[in-house]
Structure 1
Amino acid sequence: MVFIGEDGVSRCTWCASHPEYIRYHDEEWGYPVSDDTRLFEKICLEGFQSGLSWWTILQKRENFRAAFEGFDFHKVAHFGQSDIERLLQDKGIVRHRGKIAATINNAARAIEMQAEFGSLAAFFWRYEGREEARHIEGVPSVTETSKRLSKDLKKRGWNFVGPTTCYAFMQAMGLVNDHHPDCAHHAKAEALRAAFTPPSIV
């Protein structure tokens, strides 16, 4: 479903509630990303979203970036118990011990993955879901590809990366184009995806 904004532009209905949501939809969501830091940030923030709304996380995103060194996983991997306790006192983020510990763990796993594949992007873009673009009955929350990605990440030791989290990550990072066909940004996302060359494994 879509809605028509005050500017006359059609957009996916999910972003209608707030101008900041609209900016996120227009400027980020669904466009292909190859930057490892952004990919790591997003998979971690999707993990923090588990059981919450993305709106909650989006409002706190800058606080998360400050708390986790800009999601530089080479730095986050060195966080220790004192950092976990410090972050549990940070009212600007979601103070969940398991999710904070998972982010630190996942940073170490990201370094391993970067060493193995050359980049996180080379790993994640193996799971591009071209065959899973918008279903007729609506946008799924889980797909066979997101199940495979989740299983692979868990096998590699990642935490808080269930199939739903992985599919939300895929949608946001452009691995699949789930802008509604009637959304003005659907064609832009599709063109960017068509022109995008996934990073190669080195």
Structure 2
Amino acid sequence: MGRCSWASSERLKKYHDLEWGVPSHDDNYLFKMLILEGFQAGLSWDIILKKRKAFQEAFEGFDPKVVSRFDDEKVDKLMSNVTLIRNRLKMISAIKNASAFLAIQQEFGSFDRYIWHFTNNTSLDPKIATEEELMAKTPLSEKVSKDLKKRGFKFVGPVIIQSYLEAIGIYNHHLMSCDWH
């Protein structure tokens, strides 16, 4: 099978084949991926996938209503959990992002409507032939990042948002040679 070259481990292959780039319109999944992308900053995605179940449990199913109510005591508990990425700034930003996420749901009716409105509900397929054509950030990721920051989100720079847009299927960045393109 021809896959994108980054899918090198069994865990990454499974994620690539079943999840990455599949258009998602489920707010819970969109929130989970936004939080995980923030935790991934500076790390490999394979590490995030390895710890995803622990994050799912620690962040109580990634329910933004629940996460938005986490307090200092909960952050301390999360920081003592060795199965997580223990970065206090990322923990605190996840809580703030939950509140900002809820505000967007309130304003737009769903986060799905908000995030997909940037592309008129269309997945973008730039038909990438080689890895050299891939960009760490795009004008779209810069625009979305800027808007999210304006709305109070943290750890949502244009590179993180580019990865997020690819993960949730707004961008189809499977190489043209990939069987999943």
Q: Which residue of 1 aligns with 2:149?
A: 154
Cα distance, 1:54 vs structure 2: 0.7
Summarize deviations over 1:140-183 as a string: whole Å, max 9, x none: 11000000000000000000000000000000100010001010
Q: Which residue of 2 aligns with 1:120?
A: 111
2:180 aligned with 1:185, yes or no? yes
CA RMSD of aligned residues (A): 1.3
Summarize deviations over 1:177-199 as a string: whole Å, max 9, x none: 0001010000xxxxxxxxxxxxx
Query: C-alpha distance in 1, partners of 2:13/2:169?
Result: 17
The correspondence for 1:80, drawn from 31, 50, 71, is 71
**Structure 1: which 5+ residue stretches go unaligned?**
1-8, 187-202
Cα distance, 1:130 vs structure 2: 2.1
Identity, % of aligned positions:
40
TM, length-normalised to structure 2: 0.94
Give secondary structure in 1 for the equivalent of 2:81: coil
Q: Which amino acid aligns with 2:50?
A: Q
Query: C-alpha distance in 2, partners of 1:115/1:125?
Result: 16
2:128 and 2:173 in contact (8 A); partners too: yes
Cα distance, 1:91 vs structure 2: 0.6
Cα distance, 1:131 vs structure 2: 6.5
Give secondary structure in 1 for the equivalent of 2:75: helix
Give secondary structure in 2 for the equivalent of 1:160: coil
Cα distance, 1:135 vs structure 2: 6.9
Q: Which residue of 1 aligns with 2:2?
A: 10
User: Which 4+ residue blocks in structure 1 deviate beyond 6 angstroms?
Assistant: none
Q: Which amino acid aligns with 1:10?
A: G
| Pair member with larger Rg | 1
Query: C-alpha distance in 2, partners of 1:89/1:113?
Result: 31
Query: C-alpha distance in 1, partners of 2:141/2:12?
Result: 24
2:129 and 2:176 in contact (8 A); partners too: no
2:140 aligned with 1:145, yes or no? yes
2:81 aligned with 1:90, yes or no? yes
Q: How many residues matched?
A: 177
1:132 and 1:143 in contact (8 A); partners too: no
Query: C-alpha distance in 1, partners of 2:28/2:70?
Result: 17
Distance 1:151 1:118, change over 3 A: same
